């Protein structure tokens, strides 16, 4: 699925989406995906299918609502995984020839009607094991305060984020959530969440995000 593919006649399946590559005369290859079609001149390059952040219509935040809110004791931490939506970028060299969203996309308003922003929206369980989904995020939560804290959603900055992948799964960077005061602070670290992953882009941290609402 993710990674490099030879420019030859074949089907490539990504979740419920199929990409059809068909060799034609004159060193041409026809790329088809749903109603998208491209002609590619074969030149020795490979087709790269890479994960991309779920920016949709240009949003900069991803909201993951937890199916079960988490209660964290004072001065304790927890490390686990959530599922997360991703997009798929198809490239030849540095040229993006297609980009699509596997599955359904959802959006929600984060904040008030007057000052809120639209973000991608997703509902997920939290577990110490990786979920069986195309997109995964590892979340490390800590409560440095002297009081119990609860969290029911995580809002993550994703625009321009590094992505990671294996052949079968896409990963966001390690996310760190600190439950201090009344505003959880979220850090997209840019670091690989687990070992043995390929990276898309250079690893870099995004500015910390304070969850005001």
Domain residue ranges in the chain: 3-210
Q: What's the pLDDT tens digit per position in 45-102?
A: 999 999 999 999 899 999 999 999 999 999 999 999 999 999 999 999 999 999 999 9
Helical (H) or strand (E) element with 59 = none
**What is the residue-averaged pLDDT of the chain?**
96
pLDDT of 213 reads: 86
Q: What share of the chain is helix, strand, coil (3-state, %, to 5)?
A: 0, 55, 45
Backbone angle region of 4, left / alpha / beta, with phi > 0 → left and psi within -120 to 50 → alpha: beta
Whole-angstrom distance, CA of residue 123 vs CA of residue 192? 23
Q: Are 12 and 4 in contact (CB under 8 A)?
A: no
Give the C-alpha separation, 140 to 138, whole Å: 7
| pTM of model > 0.75 | yes
- Please give the Cα distance from 159 to 173 (Å, whole number): 12
Provide the pLDDT for residue 180. 83
């Amino acid at each position: 699925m993710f990674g490099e593919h030879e420019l030859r006649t074949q089907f490539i399946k990504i979740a419920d989406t199929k990409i059809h590559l068909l060799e034609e005369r004159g060193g041409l290859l026809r790329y088809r995906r749903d109603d998208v079609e491209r002609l590619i001149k074969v030149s020795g390059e490979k087709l790269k299918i890479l994960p991309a952040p779920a920016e949709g219509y240009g949003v900069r935040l991803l909201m993951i609502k937890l199916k079960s809110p988490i209660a964290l004791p004072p001065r304790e931490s927890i490390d686990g995984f959530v599922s997360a939506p991703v997009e798929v970028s198809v490239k030849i060299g540095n040229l993006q020839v297609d980009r699509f969203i596997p599955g359904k996309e959802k959006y929600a308003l984060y904040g008030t009607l007057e000052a809120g922003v639209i973000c991608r929206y997703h509902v997920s369980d939290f577990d110490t094991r990786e979920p069986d989904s195309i997109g995964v995020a590892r979340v490390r939560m800590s409560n440095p305060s002297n009081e119990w804290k609860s969290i029911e959603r995580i809002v993550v900055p994703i625009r321009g984020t590094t992505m990671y992948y294996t052949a079968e799964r896409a990963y966001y960077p390690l996310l760190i959530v600190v439950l201090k005061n009344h505003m959880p602070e979220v850090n997209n670290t840019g670091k690989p969440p687990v070992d043995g992953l390929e990276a898309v882009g250079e690893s870099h941290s995004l500015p910390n995000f304070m969850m005001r609402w």
